[in-house]
Amino acid sequence: MSRGPLLFKDIDTPGLAGLEVYRGLGGYEALAEVLAKMSPDDCIEVVKASGLRGRGGAGFPTGLKWSFVPKDTPKPKYLVCNADESEPGTFKDRELIEKDPHLLIEGMILAARAIGANVGYVYLRGEFAWIQRILDRAIAEAYEAGLLGPSVAGTGFRLDLYTHLGAGAYICGEETALLSSLEGYRGQPRLKPPFPAVEGLYRCPTIVNNVETLMNVPGILANGAAWYRQWGTEKSPGTKIFSVSGPVRRPGNYELPLGVPLSTLLNEHCGGMRDGFKVKAVIPGGSSVPPLPASLLDTPLDFESLNAAGTYLGSGGVIVIDDRTCIVDALWNITRFYRHESCGKCTPCREGTYWMAEVFERLERGRGRSSDIDLLDEVADNILGKSFCPLGDGAAMPVMGAIRHFREEFEYHVTHRRCRVNRRREELDALRSAPSAVEVTA
């Protein structure tokens, strides 16, 4: 059964990761023709016209980004695929590469040709060593078949592709930190401008695109912008892969046209909530974006509608929080993540995430003060927009959003010195008070 209109159309086909099956389904079929008939500028124009926006989180228009690469430079140019997928709630790129690595390679060939790059890197998060092996095998197959190397598909265009493994650092998903890491430095972000398109890897023009973004390119260039625009909305064309997690019946990745209501994703595709659970809040775009309360579940999942609802499409990582989960506890968990992952370069982010976690702990332990909620909001506001990269914004926005929508539940912690609900804590307390039923191994 097909799981989606584009990237997920054939995703569960057995053996798709191998070149033969991929080709059998039409893979690489249009490649030589596109390379022969379309100039690099034509390719950029078509991607611009398609309205494709980055699928990694920031949503920057892809064709526009490509057009920023200077054409008259003697420097080499680089294409980098961001497969650092580390945004909590997001797990789409790993399924895409694991099952369909040749589509990524085909997308990278076309993107590299459009921007004039002869070398490409795929930066995978360190935990994805097993996915690196799958992609390395596919790359080796592509070299053998003459689809990579000195003359891609016999066109004379040269492209070498390499995979590069990170080693455990969320910050390396931020494009300038990723480039620092790829160059062999600590993965810390750089000030923009200059933007990577002008001065990126090894101070050369570099385009960094997300896995899902690059995988949309072959379809767009083979079939045209109008074809791609049959999915999605006028301003948010195409499909998006939504990664759904939390206590729903069928969590997982779903490819849907942009603009589908959040409630349709959760009820029709994910089968609703597990028995005994109701939705309290949904974080629609990975842990860095503000949560939506249950009253806004009809919000269409596209860039503009989510912005109007006070949040973001982000990476499409949809985290469902149920009514028996304490919202303060959930946000404390998220804040600990950012405290751990802050690279330490900018004071507002490094110190702010620490202090937010301290205040959350106080509230959760029943020691909160009446001024703490405003204090949290103020600390978050002092991180927002005041650091080099968006990691700090990602730490601040969910906290500010949670206070906006669930202030009453925060206040309950101060007035009652405990959570209103907290099934996580209850389960843990029950387990701890039970006699030890398990024996120590060893």
Partner 1 sequence: MSHAPVTVALETRPLEWPEAARKQVEEALTHYPNRRSAVLPALWIAQRTWGWIPPGALRLVARTVELPEPEVFGIATFYTMFNLQPVGRHHLQLCMTVSCSLVGADRLYEHLRRRLGIEHGETTPDGRFTLRKVECLAACGNGPCMQVNEDYYENLDEAAVDRILERLK
**Contact call for residue 86 and partner 1 (CB under 8 A):** yes
**Contact call for residue 253 and partner 1 (CB under 8 A):** yes
Q: Which of 13, 67, 264, 333 binds partner 1 (CB under 8 A)?
A: 333
Q: In what order do the strands lie in the sheet with 292-293?
A: 252-257, 239-245, 317-322, 279-283, 292-293
**Contact call for residue 378 and partner 1 (CB under 8 A):** no
Residue position matching structure tokens 């500028």: 41
Q: Which of 22, 66, 170, 312 binds partner 1 (CB under 8 A)?
A: 170
Q: Is 272 exposed, middle or buried (0-12, 13-18, 19+ CB in 10 A)?
A: middle
For the bound state, the minimum distance from the C-beta of residue 328 to partner 1, rounded and expressed in Å, comes to 13
**Contact call for residue 213 and partner 1 (CB under 8 A):** no
* CA dist., res. 387 & res. 200, Å (int): 20
* CA dist., res. 247 & res. 274, Å (int): 6
Q: What distance lies between CA 99 and its chain's CA centroid?
A: 18
Q: Which of 61, 116, 251, 272 binds partner 1 (CB under 8 A)?
A: 251
For the bound state, the minimum distance from the C-beta of residue 392 to partner 1, rounded and expressed in Å, comes to 14
SS3 of 159, please? strand
The residue (of 221 and 262) whose beta carbon lies closer to partner 1 is 262
The residue (of 153 and 402) whose beta carbon lies closer to partner 1 is 402
**Contact call for residue 165 and partner 1 (CB under 8 A):** yes
For the bound state, the minimum distance from the C-beta of residue 320 to partner 1, rounded and expressed in Å, comes to 8
**Contact call for residue 70 and partner 1 (CB under 8 A):** no
* CA dist., res. 54 & res. 211, Å (int): 9
Q: Which amino acid is at 247?
A: P
* CA dist., res. 176 & res. 208, Å (int): 9
* CA dist., res. 328 & res. 324, Å (int): 12
x/- binding map, residues 16-55, to partner 1, per CB under 8 A? ----------------------------------------
Helix (H) or strand (E) segment spanning residue 151: none
Q: Which of 53, 59, 87, 205 binds partner 1 (CB under 8 A)?
A: 87
- Going by the DSSP 8-state scheme, the letter that residue 170 receives in this structure is G
Question: Residue 240: what are its φ and ψ, rounded to 5°?
Answer: -140, 145
Q: Is 39 exposed, middle or buried (0-12, 13-18, 19+ CB in 10 A)?
A: exposed
Question: Residue 138: what are its φ and ψ, rounded to 5°?
Answer: -65, -40
Kindly report the CA angle at 331 between 364 and 212, in degrees rounded to 5?
A: 160
* CA dist., res. 44 & res. 401, Å (int): 37
For the bound state, the minimum distance from the C-beta of residue 80 to partner 1, rounded and expressed in Å, comes to 12
Restricting to residues 129-148, which ones interact with partner 1 according to CB under 8 A?
129-130
Stretch that binds partner 1, among 37-45, 147-155, 387-395, 432-440 (CB under 8 A): 432-440
Helix (H) or strand (E) segment spanning residue 165: strand 160-165
**Contact call for residue 173 and partner 1 (CB under 8 A):** no
Q: Which of 3, 48, 158, 164 binds partner 1 (CB under 8 A)?
A: 164
The residue (of 35 and 161) whose beta carbon lies closer to partner 1 is 161
The residue (of 206 and 236) whose beta carbon lies closer to partner 1 is 206
For the bound state, the minimum distance from the C-beta of residue 251 to partner 1, rounded and expressed in Å, comes to 4
**Contact call for residue 13 and partner 1 (CB under 8 A):** no
**Contact call for residue 339 and partner 1 (CB under 8 A):** yes
x/- binding map, residues 351-370, to partner 1, per CB under 8 A? ---x----------------
The residue (of 47 and 282) whose beta carbon lies closer to partner 1 is 282
Count the neighbouring beta carbons within 10 Å of the beta carbon of residue 274: 14
Residue position matching structure tokens 């990602």: 394
What are the residues binding partner 1 (CB under 8 A)?
A: 85-91, 93-94, 121, 125-130, 162, 164-170, 181-187, 202, 243-247, 251-253, 287, 317, 319-322, 325, 330, 333-334, 337, 339-344, 354, 424, 427-428, 431-432, 436, 438-442
